[in-house]
Chain A
Amino acid sequence: MNSLSLRRVAIATLLAAGLATTQAHPGPSDASALSALPIAVSVAAPVMLLSAGATLTVVAVEASATGTVWVLERASDGARMSVTVGAQAAGGLSVAAGTAVVVTAFSAGWVLSAAGRAIAYIPNEIGSALLYNERVTR
Protein backbone atom coordinates (compact mmCIF):
# COMPACT_ATOMS: atom_id res chain seq x y z
CA MET A 1 0.00 0.00 0.00
CA ASN A 2 1.33 3.35 -0.95
CA SER A 3 0.87 6.31 1.20
CA LEU A 4 0.87 9.44 -0.87
CA SER A 5 2.35 12.73 -0.13
CA LEU A 6 -0.37 15.17 0.56
CA ARG A 7 1.54 18.29 1.10
CA ARG A 8 0.42 20.77 -1.41
CA VAL A 9 2.32 20.92 -4.59
CA ALA A 10 1.04 23.77 -6.51
CA ILE A 11 1.35 23.65 -10.11
CA ALA A 12 0.34 24.78 -13.36
CA THR A 13 -1.29 22.20 -15.39
CA LEU A 14 -2.64 22.59 -18.79
CA LEU A 15 -4.88 19.82 -19.56
CA ALA A 16 -5.26 19.37 -23.22
CA ALA A 17 -6.91 16.31 -24.51
CA GLY A 18 -3.90 14.29 -23.86
CA LEU A 19 -1.09 15.67 -21.84
CA ALA A 20 -0.21 18.26 -19.42
CA THR A 21 3.07 19.80 -18.53
CA THR A 22 4.14 21.50 -15.42
CA GLN A 23 6.52 22.75 -12.85
CA ALA A 24 6.30 22.21 -9.13
CA HIS A 25 6.63 24.40 -6.09
CA PRO A 26 6.70 23.27 -2.52
CA GLY A 27 3.61 24.24 -0.60
CA PRO A 28 3.30 26.05 2.69
CA SER A 29 3.24 23.85 5.70
CA ASP A 30 0.48 25.76 7.33
CA ALA A 31 -2.52 24.01 8.64
CA SER A 32 -5.31 23.85 6.24
CA ALA A 33 -7.40 21.32 4.50
CA LEU A 34 -5.89 22.54 1.32
CA SER A 35 -2.46 21.47 2.34
CA ALA A 36 -3.88 17.99 2.04
CA LEU A 37 -4.93 18.54 -1.53
CA PRO A 38 -2.53 17.43 -4.22
CA ILE A 39 -2.72 19.45 -7.37
CA ALA A 40 -1.98 17.31 -10.36
CA VAL A 41 1.37 18.05 -11.89
CA SER A 42 0.56 16.20 -15.02
CA VAL A 43 -2.27 14.26 -16.48
CA ALA A 44 -2.63 11.96 -19.44
CA ALA A 45 -6.19 11.15 -20.20
CA PRO A 46 -8.62 10.66 -23.02
CA VAL A 47 -11.16 13.48 -22.89
CA MET A 48 -14.07 11.15 -22.35
CA LEU A 49 -12.71 10.08 -19.00
CA LEU A 50 -12.91 13.61 -17.74
CA SER A 51 -16.61 13.82 -18.23
CA ALA A 52 -18.51 14.55 -15.07
CA GLY A 53 -19.41 11.62 -13.00
CA ALA A 54 -17.03 9.09 -14.52
CA THR A 55 -16.17 6.42 -11.99
CA LEU A 56 -12.74 4.89 -12.20
CA THR A 57 -10.71 2.42 -10.23
CA VAL A 58 -7.09 2.80 -9.22
CA VAL A 59 -5.20 -0.01 -10.91
CA ALA A 60 -1.66 1.01 -10.06
CA VAL A 61 0.29 3.43 -7.87
CA GLU A 62 3.82 4.08 -9.08
CA ALA A 63 6.70 6.32 -8.11
CA SER A 64 8.19 8.50 -10.82
CA ALA A 65 10.83 11.18 -11.07
CA THR A 66 8.19 13.89 -10.79
CA GLY A 67 6.05 12.36 -8.10
CA THR A 68 3.56 9.60 -7.62
CA VAL A 69 1.57 8.31 -10.54
CA TRP A 70 -1.90 6.91 -10.18
CA VAL A 71 -3.18 4.81 -13.04
CA LEU A 72 -6.97 4.86 -13.18
CA GLU A 73 -9.22 2.68 -15.29
CA ARG A 74 -12.88 2.73 -16.21
CA ALA A 75 -14.27 -0.72 -15.74
CA SER A 76 -16.86 -0.55 -18.51
CA ASP A 77 -14.39 -0.17 -21.37
CA GLY A 78 -10.93 -0.40 -19.89
CA ALA A 79 -10.10 3.23 -20.77
CA ARG A 80 -7.20 4.51 -18.69
CA MET A 81 -5.78 7.76 -17.45
CA SER A 82 -2.76 8.55 -15.35
CA VAL A 83 -2.40 11.38 -12.89
CA THR A 84 0.89 12.50 -11.40
CA VAL A 85 0.90 14.30 -8.09
CA GLY A 86 3.92 15.61 -6.24
CA ALA A 87 5.54 13.19 -3.90
CA GLN A 88 6.42 15.70 -1.25
CA ALA A 89 6.15 14.23 2.16
CA ALA A 90 3.10 14.35 4.41
CA GLY A 91 0.69 11.62 4.98
CA GLY A 92 -2.95 11.23 5.58
CA LEU A 93 -4.29 10.03 2.32
CA SER A 94 -3.81 6.54 1.10
CA VAL A 95 -4.68 5.70 -2.40
CA ALA A 96 -4.19 2.08 -3.25
CA ALA A 97 -5.05 -0.24 -6.08
CA GLY A 98 -8.74 -0.93 -5.92
CA THR A 99 -9.74 2.52 -4.65
CA ALA A 100 -12.85 3.83 -6.41
CA VAL A 101 -12.39 7.35 -7.74
CA VAL A 102 -15.06 9.72 -9.06
CA VAL A 103 -14.21 12.43 -11.58
CA THR A 104 -16.18 15.64 -11.18
CA ALA A 105 -15.91 18.41 -13.78
CA PHE A 106 -16.48 22.07 -12.93
CA SER A 107 -15.60 25.46 -14.35
CA ALA A 108 -11.98 25.49 -13.14
CA GLY A 109 -11.08 21.89 -13.88
CA TRP A 110 -11.70 18.48 -12.39
CA VAL A 111 -11.69 17.02 -8.92
CA LEU A 112 -10.85 13.39 -8.32
CA SER A 113 -12.41 12.10 -5.15
CA ALA A 114 -12.59 8.91 -3.17
CA ALA A 115 -15.42 8.49 -0.68
CA GLY A 116 -16.26 12.18 -1.01
CA ARG A 117 -12.75 13.38 -0.21
CA ALA A 118 -10.72 15.15 -2.87
CA ILE A 119 -7.57 13.23 -3.68
CA ALA A 120 -6.45 15.50 -6.50
CA TYR A 121 -7.37 18.69 -8.28
CA ILE A 122 -6.67 18.90 -11.99
CA PRO A 123 -6.82 22.54 -13.06
CA ASN A 124 -7.90 23.50 -16.55
CA GLU A 125 -6.76 26.74 -18.15
CA ILE A 126 -9.04 28.82 -15.93
CA GLY A 127 -7.87 27.00 -12.82
CA SER A 128 -4.20 27.24 -13.75
CA ALA A 129 -4.49 31.01 -14.06
CA LEU A 130 -5.70 31.10 -10.45
CA LEU A 131 -2.83 29.06 -9.04
CA TYR A 132 0.60 30.23 -8.01
CA ASN A 133 2.70 29.41 -4.99
CA GLU A 134 5.89 31.09 -3.91
CA ARG A 135 7.38 31.39 -0.46
CA VAL A 136 8.80 34.89 -0.12
CA THR A 137 10.48 34.70 3.29
CA ARG A 138 12.25 31.83 5.02
Chain B
Amino acid sequence: MRRPLQAVALALAVATGAAHAGRSCERQAPRAENVQRAMALAERTARALDDSGAQVAVVARAGQDLSRYGLVYSHLGLAYKDGTRWRVAHKLNECGSAQAAVWRQGLGEFFLDDLFDYRAGIVVLAPELQQRLLPALADNTRLAGLHTAAYSMVAYPWAQRYQQSNQWALETLAAAQSPGVRSRADAQAWLQSAGYQPSTLRIDPVTRLGARLTAANVAFDDHPAEKRFTDRIETVTVDSVFAWLNRTGLGAPAVTVR
Protein backbone atom coordinates (compact mmCIF):
# COMPACT_ATOMS: atom_id res chain seq x y z
CA MET B 1 0.00 0.00 0.00
CA ARG B 2 1.35 3.36 -0.86
CA ARG B 3 1.98 5.75 1.88
CA PRO B 4 -0.50 8.50 2.33
CA LEU B 5 0.59 11.84 1.06
CA GLN B 6 0.83 13.13 4.54
CA ALA B 7 3.59 10.69 5.34
CA VAL B 8 5.46 11.85 2.30
CA ALA B 9 5.05 15.44 3.32
CA LEU B 10 6.25 14.68 6.80
CA ALA B 11 9.29 12.90 5.52
CA LEU B 12 9.96 15.92 3.41
CA ALA B 13 9.84 18.06 6.40
CA VAL B 14 12.95 16.36 7.35
CA ALA B 15 14.72 18.98 8.92
CA THR B 16 17.33 20.40 7.31
CA GLY B 17 18.00 23.88 7.05
CA ALA B 18 14.87 24.55 5.44
CA ALA B 19 12.35 25.58 7.74
CA HIS B 20 10.72 26.98 4.72
CA ALA B 21 11.42 24.30 2.31
CA GLY B 22 8.79 21.95 1.21
CA ARG B 23 6.01 24.42 1.30
CA SER B 24 4.71 26.44 -1.50
CA CYS B 25 4.34 30.13 -0.91
CA GLU B 26 1.34 30.27 1.30
CA ARG B 27 -0.96 33.16 0.87
CA GLN B 28 -2.94 32.71 3.99
CA ALA B 29 -2.37 35.28 6.67
CA PRO B 30 -1.01 33.95 9.96
CA ARG B 31 -3.17 33.74 13.04
CA ALA B 32 -2.98 36.90 15.11
CA GLU B 33 -1.86 35.07 18.23
CA ASN B 34 1.01 33.44 16.34
CA VAL B 35 2.39 36.85 15.38
CA GLN B 36 2.40 37.79 19.05
CA ARG B 37 3.97 34.51 20.11
CA ALA B 38 6.70 34.79 17.48
CA MET B 39 7.60 38.37 18.35
CA ALA B 40 7.51 37.60 22.06
CA LEU B 41 9.88 34.67 21.44
CA ALA B 42 12.16 36.97 19.44
CA GLU B 43 12.15 39.44 22.32
CA ARG B 44 12.99 36.78 24.90
CA THR B 45 15.70 35.35 22.65
CA ALA B 46 17.29 38.79 22.25
CA ARG B 47 17.28 39.18 26.00
CA ALA B 48 18.84 35.75 26.52
CA LEU B 49 21.53 36.57 23.96
CA ASP B 50 22.19 39.91 25.67
CA ASP B 51 22.43 38.20 29.06
CA SER B 52 24.90 35.65 27.70
CA GLY B 53 27.43 38.38 27.02
CA ALA B 54 28.11 36.84 23.62
CA GLN B 55 28.65 38.70 20.37
CA VAL B 56 28.00 35.66 18.17
CA ALA B 57 25.79 32.62 18.72
CA VAL B 58 23.98 29.96 16.75
CA VAL B 59 20.19 30.30 17.03
CA ALA B 60 17.62 27.74 15.97
CA ARG B 61 13.88 27.49 15.55
CA ALA B 62 11.46 24.59 15.51
CA GLY B 63 9.47 24.99 12.34
CA GLN B 64 8.29 21.42 12.13
CA ASP B 65 7.65 18.40 14.28
CA LEU B 66 10.74 16.31 13.61
CA SER B 67 10.40 14.09 16.66
CA ARG B 68 10.10 11.00 14.49
CA TYR B 69 13.68 11.65 13.48
CA GLY B 70 14.72 12.37 17.03
CA LEU B 71 15.24 16.04 16.18
CA VAL B 72 14.05 19.16 17.98
CA TYR B 73 14.99 22.07 15.72
CA SER B 74 14.52 22.50 11.99
CA HIS B 75 16.57 25.52 11.03
CA LEU B 76 19.49 27.53 12.30
CA GLY B 77 21.14 30.86 11.68
CA LEU B 78 24.28 32.67 12.79
CA ALA B 79 23.31 35.50 15.11
CA TYR B 80 25.56 38.43 15.90
CA LYS B 81 25.31 41.67 17.74
CA ASP B 82 25.32 44.73 15.53
CA GLY B 83 25.54 47.62 17.96
CA THR B 84 22.70 47.00 20.36
CA ARG B 85 20.66 44.82 18.03
CA TRP B 86 20.88 41.18 17.05
CA ARG B 87 20.96 40.16 13.42
CA VAL B 88 20.75 36.67 12.00
CA ALA B 89 22.50 35.53 8.84
CA HIS B 90 20.73 32.51 7.41
CA LYS B 91 19.77 30.84 4.19
CA LEU B 92 16.18 30.57 3.00
CA ASN B 93 14.65 28.41 0.33
CA GLU B 94 12.44 30.30 -2.05
CA CYS B 95 8.87 29.13 -2.23
CA GLY B 96 9.68 25.45 -2.37
CA SER B 97 11.82 26.00 -5.46
CA ALA B 98 15.24 24.49 -6.13
CA GLN B 99 16.92 27.80 -5.26
CA ALA B 100 17.84 29.50 -2.04
CA ALA B 101 19.48 32.73 -0.95
CA VAL B 102 21.29 34.11 2.07
CA TRP B 103 19.50 36.74 4.11
CA ARG B 104 20.34 38.97 7.03
CA GLN B 105 17.29 39.41 9.19
CA GLY B 106 16.16 40.44 12.62
CA LEU B 107 15.19 37.93 15.27
CA GLY B 108 11.61 39.00 14.58
CA GLU B 109 11.68 37.77 11.00
CA PHE B 110 13.63 34.69 12.09
CA PHE B 111 10.76 33.55 14.30
CA LEU B 112 7.85 35.10 12.40
CA ASP B 113 7.34 31.87 10.63
CA ASP B 114 4.73 29.21 11.01
CA LEU B 115 6.48 27.55 13.92
CA PHE B 116 5.65 24.11 15.22
CA ASP B 117 6.91 24.97 18.67
CA TYR B 118 7.59 28.42 20.08
CA ARG B 119 11.00 27.65 21.44
CA ALA B 120 14.45 28.81 20.45
CA GLY B 121 17.76 27.03 20.77
CA ILE B 122 20.90 29.05 21.47
CA VAL B 123 24.50 27.89 21.40
CA VAL B 124 27.01 30.52 22.44
CA LEU B 125 30.20 29.95 20.49
CA ALA B 126 33.68 29.79 21.98
CA PRO B 127 35.18 33.28 22.36
CA GLU B 128 37.84 32.73 19.73
CA LEU B 129 35.32 31.45 17.20
CA GLN B 130 33.09 34.44 17.95
CA GLN B 131 35.96 36.78 17.17
CA ARG B 132 36.64 34.98 13.90
CA LEU B 133 33.01 34.89 12.83
CA LEU B 134 31.97 38.40 13.79
CA PRO B 135 33.65 40.24 10.89
CA ALA B 136 32.50 37.57 8.43
CA LEU B 137 28.86 37.94 9.47
CA ALA B 138 28.93 41.68 8.86
CA ASP B 139 30.51 41.22 5.43
CA ASN B 140 28.18 40.32 2.55
CA THR B 141 31.02 39.08 0.38
CA ARG B 142 32.10 36.63 3.02
CA LEU B 143 28.52 35.54 3.69
CA ALA B 144 28.17 34.76 0.00
CA GLY B 145 31.58 33.12 -0.27
CA LEU B 146 30.50 29.52 0.30
CA HIS B 147 26.90 29.91 -0.81
CA THR B 148 25.52 27.60 -3.48
CA ALA B 149 22.14 28.66 -4.80
CA ALA B 150 21.13 25.14 -5.90
CA TYR B 151 19.11 23.82 -3.02
CA SER B 152 17.98 20.47 -1.72
CA MET B 153 16.51 20.22 1.74
CA VAL B 154 18.31 16.92 2.26
CA ALA B 155 21.61 17.89 0.60
CA TYR B 156 24.43 15.44 1.25
CA PRO B 157 26.89 16.98 3.73
CA TRP B 158 29.98 15.86 1.82
CA ALA B 159 29.03 17.00 -1.68
CA GLN B 160 28.77 20.40 -3.34
CA ARG B 161 25.96 19.95 -5.86
CA TYR B 162 23.33 21.36 -3.51
CA GLN B 163 23.42 23.19 -0.24
CA GLN B 164 20.71 23.35 2.37
CA SER B 165 20.38 26.09 4.96
CA ASN B 166 22.06 24.50 7.95
CA GLN B 167 24.85 23.32 5.70
CA TRP B 168 25.55 26.86 4.52
CA ALA B 169 25.81 28.06 8.10
CA LEU B 170 28.05 25.17 9.12
CA GLU B 171 30.39 25.62 6.15
CA THR B 172 30.52 29.38 6.72
CA LEU B 173 31.41 28.72 10.35
CA ALA B 174 34.13 26.31 9.21
CA ALA B 175 35.60 28.92 6.88
CA ALA B 176 35.83 31.41 9.73
CA GLN B 177 37.38 28.91 12.11
CA SER B 178 39.91 27.52 9.65
CA PRO B 179 41.66 30.21 7.59
CA GLY B 180 42.82 27.66 5.02
CA VAL B 181 39.25 27.06 3.85
CA ARG B 182 38.68 28.61 0.43
CA SER B 183 35.94 26.44 -1.01
CA ARG B 184 33.01 24.29 0.05
CA ALA B 185 35.14 21.21 -0.48
CA ASP B 186 37.77 22.68 1.85
CA ALA B 187 35.11 23.45 4.44
CA GLN B 188 33.71 19.94 4.26
CA ALA B 189 37.17 18.41 4.54
CA TRP B 190 37.82 20.52 7.61
CA LEU B 191 34.47 19.58 9.14
CA GLN B 192 35.26 15.91 8.64
CA SER B 193 38.66 16.31 10.23
CA ALA B 194 37.06 18.22 13.09
CA GLY B 195 34.70 15.34 13.78
CA TYR B 196 31.41 16.76 12.58
CA GLN B 197 28.83 13.99 12.13
CA PRO B 198 25.60 14.64 10.23
CA SER B 199 22.27 13.09 11.15
CA THR B 200 21.22 9.94 9.33
CA LEU B 201 17.55 9.93 8.38
CA ARG B 202 15.77 6.77 7.37
CA ILE B 203 13.84 7.60 4.24
CA ASP B 204 12.42 4.71 2.26
CA PRO B 205 12.29 4.45 -1.53
CA VAL B 206 8.59 5.24 -1.87
CA THR B 207 8.98 8.40 0.14
CA ARG B 208 12.09 9.35 -1.79
CA LEU B 209 10.33 8.84 -5.08
CA GLY B 210 7.29 10.80 -3.95
CA ALA B 211 9.46 13.62 -2.78
CA ARG B 212 11.51 13.73 -5.94
CA LEU B 213 8.40 13.81 -8.07
CA THR B 214 6.49 16.39 -6.12
CA ALA B 215 9.01 18.72 -4.53
CA ALA B 216 11.48 20.82 -6.46
CA ASN B 217 13.51 21.40 -3.34
CA VAL B 218 14.26 17.78 -2.58
CA ALA B 219 16.89 15.77 -4.42
CA PHE B 220 18.79 12.62 -3.58
CA ASP B 221 21.16 12.40 -6.52
CA ASP B 222 24.03 13.91 -4.59
CA HIS B 223 23.98 11.05 -2.07
CA PRO B 224 26.25 8.05 -2.61
CA ALA B 225 24.29 5.15 -4.06
CA GLU B 226 25.30 2.70 -1.35
CA LYS B 227 23.78 4.92 1.31
CA ARG B 228 20.79 6.03 -0.68
CA PHE B 229 19.74 2.52 -1.61
CA THR B 230 19.86 1.45 2.00
CA ASP B 231 17.52 4.30 2.90
CA ARG B 232 20.20 6.18 4.81
CA ILE B 233 20.05 9.85 4.01
CA GLU B 234 22.68 11.93 5.72
CA THR B 235 22.19 15.65 6.03
CA VAL B 236 23.13 18.60 8.23
CA THR B 237 20.62 19.08 11.03
CA VAL B 238 20.51 21.63 13.82
CA ASP B 239 20.69 18.95 16.45
CA SER B 240 23.82 17.41 14.92
CA VAL B 241 25.48 20.83 14.70
CA PHE B 242 24.64 21.63 18.33
CA ALA B 243 26.00 18.25 19.45
CA TRP B 244 29.22 18.73 17.49
CA LEU B 245 29.80 22.27 18.78
CA ASN B 246 29.38 21.09 22.32
CA ARG B 247 31.51 17.97 21.83
CA THR B 248 34.40 19.95 20.40
CA GLY B 249 34.24 22.87 22.77
CA LEU B 250 33.53 25.23 19.88
CA GLY B 251 30.23 26.03 21.53
CA ALA B 252 28.51 25.91 24.91
CA PRO B 253 25.69 23.46 25.63
CA ALA B 254 22.46 24.48 23.91
CA VAL B 255 20.11 26.65 25.90
CA THR B 256 16.38 26.62 25.29
CA VAL B 257 14.34 29.82 25.31
CA ARG B 258 10.57 29.57 25.55
Interchain CB contact under 8 A, A29 and B94: yes
Interchain CB contact under 8 A, A137 and B25: no
Interchain CB contact under 8 A, A34 and B109: yes
Measured CA separation A77–B83 after assembly (Å)? 44
Residues 8-38 of B, flagged 1 when their CB comes within 8 A of A and 0 if not, give 0000000000011111111111111011101
Measured CA separation A136–B138 after assembly (Å)? 11
Answer yes or no: B114 CB below 8 A from chain A CBs: yes
Contact of A133 among B34, B101, B109 (CB under 8 A): B109
Measured CA separation A118–B38 after assembly (Å)? 13
Closest Cβ of chain B to A37, distance in Å, is 6
Closest Cβ of chain A to B57, distance in Å, is 16
Given contacts A33-B29, A34-B112, A108-B42, are A136 and B92 in contact (CB under 8 A)?
no
Measured CA separation A104–B87 after assembly (Å)? 27
A-B contact count (CB 8 A): 160
Name which of B32, B34, B84, B93 has the most chain A CB atoms within 10 A of its CB.
Answer: B32
Interchain CB contact under 8 A, B29 and A137: no
Main secondary structure of the interface of B (DSSP, over half): mixed
Residues 37-63 of A, flagged 1 when their CB comes within 8 A of B and 0 if not, give 100000000000000000000000000
Residues 93-113 of A, flagged 1 when their CB comes within 8 A of B and 0 if not, give 100000000101011110101
Interchain CB contact under 8 A, B104 and A136: yes
Closest Cβ of chain B to A41, distance in Å, is 15
Interchain CB contact under 8 A, B32 and A138: no
Measured CA separation A107–B24 after assembly (Å)? 31
Instruction: Tell me which residues across on chain A come within 8 A of B43, comparing CB atoms.
Output: 107-108, 126, 130
Answer yes or no: B103 CB below 8 A from chain A CBs: yes
Instruction: Tell me which residues across on chain A come within 8 A of B25, comparing CB atoms.
Output: 29-31, 35, 90
Given contacts A31-B26, A92-B27, are A130 and B39 in contact (CB under 8 A)?
yes
Interchain CB contact under 8 A, A108 and B32: no
Answer yes or no: A131 CB below 8 A from chain B CBs: yes
Measured CA separation A116–B132 after assembly (Å)? 45
Chain B: CB-nearest residue to A104? B32
Interchain CB contact under 8 A, A132 and B30: no
Interchain CB contact under 8 A, B39 and A127: yes
Instruction: Tell me which residues across on chain A come within 8 A of B32, comparing CB atoms.
Output: 102, 104, 111, 113, 116-118
Measured CA separation A10–B89 after assembly (Å)? 16
Within 8 A of B (CB), among A68-88: none
Given contacts A33-B34, A136-B102, are A106 and B92 in contact (CB under 8 A)?
no
Interchain CB contact under 8 A, B102 and A34: no
Instruction: Tell me which residues across on chain B come within 8 A of A29, comparing CB atoms.
Output: 25, 94-95
Answer yes or no: A6 CB below 8 A from chain B CBs: yes
- 27 cross-chain CB contacts under 8 A: A30-B20, A31-B24, A31-B25, A31-B95, A32-B19, A32-B114, A33-B34, A90-B25, A104-B32, A104-B36, A106-B36, A108-B39, A109-B39, A111-B35, A117-B32, A118-B29, A121-B35, A121-B39, A123-B108, A127-B39, A127-B108, A130-B39, A130-B43, A131-B108, A132-B105, A136-B89, A136-B140
Binding site for A on B (CB under 8 A): 19-32, 34-36, 38-40, 42-43, 46, 84-87, 89, 92-96, 101-109, 112-114, 140, 143-144, 147, 149
A sample of 15 more A-B contacts (CB under 8 A), given A28-B103, A127-B108, A132-B106, is A28-B101, A29-B94, A30-B94, A31-B93, A31-B96, A37-B112, A104-B36, A107-B40, A118-B35, A132-B108, A134-B104, A135-B101, A136-B102, A136-B144, A137-B101
